[in-house]
Amino acid sequence: MPFCDVGNADAVNNNGIKIFYRTYGSGPIKLLMIIGLAGTHDSWNPQIEGLVGTTKPNDDDRSSGDGVHNGNGIEVCAFDNRGMGLSSIPKNKSEYTTRIMAADAVSVMDHLGWKKAHVFGHSMGGMIACKLAALFPDRVLSLALLNVTGGGYECFPKLDRQTLSIAMRFLRAKTPEQRAAVDLDTHYTQEYLEEHIGLKTRRDILYREYVKGISATGMQSNHGFDGQINACWTHKISRTELEVIRAEGFLISVIHGRCDVIAQISHARRLAEKLYPLARMVELPGGHLVSHERTKEVNEALLDLIKASETKTSPYDWTNLLPKRSSCWTTSWSSSSRLNSEAESSNPTIIVGIAEKLRRIILYIFGIFVVAFEYIKRVLGRLKPVRVGPTLT
């Protein structure tokens, strides 16, 4: 089976770690896909099918162009992050950061002999991809960030009645069937789930697939789950790292479902604005797994990014963002910009925005309290949560 021993740049964190990967298709265009929390490499199958034409992996674990040829001339590599699937599962939570996991991804590229690649990441994988672009900008041809946030407090979902209900159901889930039901509401929009495919709704079809997957594919260990959560929580892209990405000049797509209940779209928009003029914001009517829910549109957006990058499209022809909203992230912070910021602080709309942020903070605190209270009740009642299989996020 194809495994990659990660590099020795950090002997403590990388000693003996193996990353499981698969390659698909063949061609001069190299594409690295990084999946999110509790996901495995095959969570990218809808994109691999659309970009390469098959989800059958290449047989050679050091693929050199012997895979299935496709009209787009693309070779894809997707892998299991450390802590999940067939990759190694370090026990120490400190061995999971987006910096370390970005180095894992580069080690896979080195193993395959790829000098550069188009790098796509979903959710936590988007955080890893963004960190890779900041640390190894010369290895990136283009960057696609799907349903991503900036990490840290931005990992908190939007707190409303729906998400609080999902959180309570998640905590109470004791069987694969209960976990599958709550995962569907987490990953997809209600409209999508209630669509009919023949005589059955999409919810019915996906529910059976999720139960089967959770029951059969194995469980993510506590070490792996806690470690990947730590990677999300400690992730941060500094202003300096953003400037490194912008200085390299590769094109970026930030793709997000408008109804994502896990990663709030406002955080994705803010990240895209900070990456002006390189970034294009693509908003689609979907949930957290917009790559599954709106496969055709996502695949078209990814192909557009690859083509624009390969044809050296100008960032100003690529972006659909306005410059004024990201001006505060330019390399020169002039005194006039500071004066404008001070003037804007007296604007009533800014005051309203501050009030809205305070309201959200209060909601976050309340939501955390509710979740913590429910968890304590379960512990006191000696209820042990079932260990179930991986999700697709």
Mean predicted lDDT score pLDDT of the chain: 83
Residue 215: pLDDT band (50, 70, 90) is confident
Is the pLDDT at 350 greater than 60? The verdict is no
pLDDT at position 206 is 93
Residue 103: pLDDT band (50, 70, 90) is very high
pLDDT at position 45 is 95
Residue 109: pLDDT band (50, 70, 90) is very high
Integer Cα distance of 262 and 288 in angstroms: 6
pLDDT at position 345 is 39
Question: Of all helices (H) and strands (E), which one includes residue 18?
Answer: strand 18-25
Integer Cα distance of 148 and 124 in angstroms: 7
pLDDT in tens, 175-210: 878 878 888 988 999 999 999 999 999 999 999 988
Q: DSSP 3-state assignment of 377?
A: helix
Is the pLDDT at 230 greater than 50? The verdict is yes
Residue whose structure tokens are 């690859």: 306
Name the CATH superfamily, with its identifier, for domain 3-61+71-158+220-318: Alpha/Beta hydrolase fold, catalytic domain (3.40.50.1820)
Give 332's contacts (C-beta < 8 A, 6+ positions apart): none
* 171 closest CA partner among 392, 367, 393: 367
Q: Where are the domains of the chain?
A: 3-61+71-158+220-318
Say whether pTM exceeds 0.85.
Answer: no
Residue 376: pLDDT band (50, 70, 90) is low
